[in-house]
């Protein structure tokens, strides 16, 4: 008696990622899918028949990638800023002279929901073309009630319309809006009293994020935002210790945050707390690269403390116009010293955990069949090639995605 499946993928080198730190390789493995979930993974077996068989000989099969930190809904562009930086201006100087985040906020406020949607949809497709099946999208270029809600509605629509799973984060506490430059506490009050409750009523966010930094919000202000989030049942995450050590890692751990992101300046104590809380440390090599910053996150200390490490694109117009998780993995290795296996775990299992998912990010029976098939036959190759279009097939919940038919 044979068991009938929907799809069988045969002949690939399978990186199951079932065990932390290891590829969990199966040479010439077989993966069976039924009803969008993985029903078999193991050596070739004659036990199964399938409606469709994918011959994957000579290819690498991994879990589809997860990008757990993006700011991909925005209007306007920052190419003039980019050119100024190439002539020597710094990110901070550009921000002070009216460019930077402020210009993106002005353009985003002026854009309709449909305009924002049309601008953002191709960016999700670019990520999918690098093997991504799950993407987090933050607000944070509205900084007022209406625009923050509009950005999140756009993110929700992207999730409804595109094959990828979208998770949304309210990042109203991204930077202080011009209207509140003299009174950032009043802006925090607006976030806690109006924005978070409105987002909760409409079910627009899956988590609440904030930016703790001298140029953004103090730990005391972040606490208020986190408490308002938890009051409506939303988990939190934090842009922590990116430019200085404000105790962001410890703060994220204290609130049981899903993730603490950046961490370039995190202290050993902060990292120990992240590990104890099970908060994922998300590394963002694209921003350091695009801004040409030398500072590296304390990867050795993260390993020693036992922090689970994820890697994300941070796709945004100012510090990381990076729309490839494949390149994010490569940069995590070359710039930050991750091993290729750590980078792949960081872009799958650990990134899924950073979004609160336990149903994806590894190839195991019962997990979602979000799978990426690559035109390489050796797992470390994925983080070795810079920018080669290596994706051969992307399956999301067991369905092969036609990337040419998703928005361009």
Q: What does the DSSP assignment read for 141-171? A: S--SHHHHHHHHHHHHHHHHHSSSEEEEEEE
The site partner of 32 among ligand DI6, Fe ion, none (C-beta below 5 to 8 Å per kind) is: none
Say which residues have a Cβ less than 8 Å from residue 106's Cβ, sequence separation at least 6: 76
Binding site for ligand DI6 (CB under 6 A): 71, 100-101, 104, 174, 211, 239, 287, 314, 316-320
Distance CA 370, CA 341 (A): 19
Shorter beta-carbon distance to ligand DI6: residue 131 or 140 = 140
The site partner of 352 among Fe ion, ligand DI6, none (C-beta below 5 to 8 Å per kind) is: none
**What's the closest the beta carbon of residue 242 comes to ligand DI6, in angstroms?**
7
**What's the closest the beta carbon of residue 289 comes to ligand DI6, in angstroms?**
12
The site partner of 169 among Fe ion, ligand DI6, none (C-beta below 5 to 8 Å per kind) is: none
The site partner of 286 among Fe ion, ligand DI6, none (C-beta below 5 to 8 Å per kind) is: none
Give the phi and the psi of residue 4 in degrees, each rounded to 5: -90, 125
Binding site for Fe ion (CB under 5 A): 314
Residue 39 CA: distances (Å) to CA of 34, 49, 54, 132? 6, 12, 15, 21
Distance CA 128, CA 130 (A): 5
Q: Which residue is nearest to Fe ion (CB)?
A: 314
**What's the closest the beta carbon of residue 100 comes to ligand DI6, in angstroms?**
6
Name the 3-class secondary structure at 211: strand
Shorter beta-carbon distance to ligand DI6: residue 237 or 239 = 239
129, 403 Cβ separation under 8 angstroms? yes
Distance CA 264, CA 266 (A): 6
**What's the closest the beta carbon of residue 75 comes to ligand DI6, in angstroms?**
12
**What's the closest the beta carbon of residue 212 comes to Fe ion, in angstroms?**
12
Shorter beta-carbon distance to ligand DI6: residue 136 or 393 = 136
The site partner of 212 among Fe ion, ligand DI6, none (C-beta below 5 to 8 Å per kind) is: none
Shorter beta-carbon distance to Fe ion: residue 41 or 170 = 170
**What's the closest the beta carbon of residue 96 comes to ligand DI6, in angstroms?**
13
The site partner of 187 among ligand DI6, Fe ion, none (C-beta below 5 to 8 Å per kind) is: none
Pairing of strands 309-311, 165-173: unpaired
Shorter beta-carbon distance to ligand DI6: residue 1 or 86 = 86
Q: Which residue is nearest to ligand DI6 (CB)?
A: 318
Shorter beta-carbon distance to ligand DI6: residue 130 or 319 = 319
**What's the closest the beta carbon of residue 51 comes to ligand DI6, in angstroms?**
44
Q: What does the DSSP assignment read for 270-332? A: HHHHHHHHTPEEEE-HHHHHHTT------HHHHHHHT--EEE----BTTTB----HHHHHHHH
Shorter beta-carbon distance to ligand DI6: residue 37 or 77 = 77
The site partner of 104 among Fe ion, ligand DI6, none (C-beta below 5 to 8 Å per kind) is: ligand DI6
**What's the closest the beta carbon of residue 381 comes to ligand DI6, in angstroms?**
28
Shorter beta-carbon distance to ligand DI6: residue 33 or 107 = 107
The site partner of 131 among Fe ion, ligand DI6, none (C-beta below 5 to 8 Å per kind) is: none
Distance CA 376, CA 57 (A): 10
Distance CA 408, CA 377 (A): 29
The site partner of 271 among ligand DI6, Fe ion, none (C-beta below 5 to 8 Å per kind) is: none
Name the 3-class secondary structure at 6: strand
Packed helices 145-161 and 113-129: angle between N→C axes, nearest 10 degrees: 50
**What's the closest the beta carbon of residue 284 comes to ligand DI6, in angstroms?**
7
Tokens encoding 23? 């590829």
Task: Check residue 316 and give left, alpha or beta (phi > 0: left; psi -120 to 50: alpha).
Answer: beta
Shorter beta-carbon distance to ligand DI6: residue 71 or 153 = 71
């Amino acid at each position: 008696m044979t068991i009938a499946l929907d799809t069988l993928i045969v002949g690939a080198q399978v990186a199951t990622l079932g065990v932390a730190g290891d590829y969990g390789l199966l040479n010439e493995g077989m993966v069976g899918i039924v009803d969008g979930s993985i029903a078999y993974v193991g050596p070739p077996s004659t036990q199964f028949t399938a409606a469709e068989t994918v011959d994957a000989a000579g290819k690498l099969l991994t879990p589809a990638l997860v990008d757990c930190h993006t700011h991909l809904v925005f209007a306007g562009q920052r190419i003039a800023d980019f050119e100024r930086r190439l002539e020597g201006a710094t990110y901070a100087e550009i921000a002070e002279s009216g460019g930077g985040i402020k210009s993106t906020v002005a353009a985003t406020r002026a854009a309709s929901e449909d305009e924002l949607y049309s601008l953002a949809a191709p960016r999700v497709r670019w990520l999918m073309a690098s093997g991504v099946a799950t993407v987090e999208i933050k607000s944070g270029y509205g900084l007022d009630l209406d625009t923050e809600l509009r950005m999140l509605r756009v993110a929700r629509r992207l999730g409804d319309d595109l094959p990828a799973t979208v998770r949304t984060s309210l990042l109203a506490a991204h930077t202080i809006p011009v209207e509140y430059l003299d009174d950032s506490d009043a802006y925090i009050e607006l976030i806690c009293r109006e924005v978070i409750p409105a987002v909760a009523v409409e079910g627009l966010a899956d988590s609440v994020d904030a930016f703790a930094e001298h140029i953004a919000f103090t730990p005391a202000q972040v606490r208020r935002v986190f408490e308002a989030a938890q009051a409506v049942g939303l988990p939190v995450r934090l842009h922590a210790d990116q430019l200085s050590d404000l105790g962001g890692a410890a703060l994220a751990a204290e609130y049981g945050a899903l993730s603490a992101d950046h961490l370039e300046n995190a202290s050993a104590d902060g990292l120990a707390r992240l590990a104890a809380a099970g908060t994922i440390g998300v590394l963002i090599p694209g921003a350091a690269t695009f801004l040409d910053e030398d500072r590296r996150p304390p990867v050795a200390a993260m390993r020693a403390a036992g922090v689970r490490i994820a890697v994300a694109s941070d796709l945004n117009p100012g510090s990381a116009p990076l729309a490839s998780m494949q390149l994010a993995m490569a940069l995590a290795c070359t710039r930050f010293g991750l091993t290729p296996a750590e980078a792949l775990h960081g872009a799958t299992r650990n990134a899924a955990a950073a979004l609160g998912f336990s149903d994806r990010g590894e190839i195991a029976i019962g997990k979602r069949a979000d799978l990426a098939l690559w035109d390489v036959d050796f797992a470390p190759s994925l983080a070795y090639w810079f920018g080669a279009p290596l994706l051969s097939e992307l399956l999301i919940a067991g369905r092969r995605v036609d990337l040419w038919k998703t928005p361009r």
